[in-house]
Amino acid sequence: MTIRPILVAPDPRLKAVAKDVAKVDGEIRTLIDDMLETMYDADGIGLAAVQIGIAQRVIVMDIDQKDGKNNPRVFVNPKIVWASEALATFEEGCLSVPEIWEDVERPARIRAEYLGRDGKQQTLEADGLLADCLQHEMDHLNGILFIDHLSRLKRSIALRKLAKAKRLKETG
């Protein structure tokens, strides 16, 4: 398994709209394994293939990491087939927008259809962090970052903070 570099905004590759996976084959399973390794290495709870520069509709997630025990989830070609009118607010972060955390409002409950690691069709009803994280990751597959949900002012403050952190990293 390989840890892949995670793209950081404003990298234009994060704006790509990912394509459906035609077949969950060995190549896709290697991508899934590399994404899980990359997500755990970065202390994330989710990762979309777009974040490592691969424009395919693949997401990995683990919102239940506890005491060194992993509970990985895999979503290939996910689709939200129902979303509640009720909204919920979560403070979100993103491995592609480091050190920025902001409240984002999204549907509180969703039903999603997707393929698992074995290529079999699955349905999931989710609320709480699972629903929020899945919507955040599905946004990545459509070239959308969580800061795109913020007001113009908050987004420009976030982008300026990111640029400053990048400058500091480069100049030491």
Residue nearest to ligand K1U (CB): 44
For 3, residues 6+ apart whose C-beta sits below 8 A from its C-beta are 34, 37, 38, 41
Round to whole Å and give the CA distance between 128 and 152: 26
Residue closer to ligand K1U by CB (options 28, 39) is 39
- Decide which of ligand K1U, Zn ion, none touches 85; Cβ closer than 5 to 8 Å per partner kind: none
User: At its nearest, how many Å lie between ligand K1U and the CB of residue 171?
Assistant: 25
Does 56 bind ligand K1U (CB under 6 A)? Our answer is no
Q: Give the helix ranges, DSSP H, for the chain.
A: 26-41, 128-141, 152-171
The residue count for binding Zn ion (CB under 5 A) is 1
Catalytic site residues?
Answer: 137
Residue closer to Zn ion by CB (options 11, 25) is 11
For residue 121, give the H/E element and its range.
strand 121-127
Does 150 bind Zn ion (CB under 5 A)? Our answer is no
Round to whole Å and give the CA distance between 26 and 31: 9
Does 44 bind ligand K1U (CB under 6 A)? Our answer is yes
Q: Match 């969950």 to its residue by tokens.
A: 24
Does 94 bind Zn ion (CB under 5 A)? Our answer is yes
Q: Match 């999204």 to its residue by tokens.
A: 106
Does 137 bind ligand K1U (CB under 6 A)? Our answer is yes
Dihedral sign computed on CA atoms, order 44, 46, 49, 53? negative
Strand positions, DSSP E, 7-67: 46-48, 58-61
Residue closer to ligand K1U by CB (options 34, 132) is 132
Interface mask toward ligand K1U for 80-109; x: CB under 6 A: ----------x-xxxxx-------------
Residue closer to ligand K1U by CB (options 43, 85) is 43
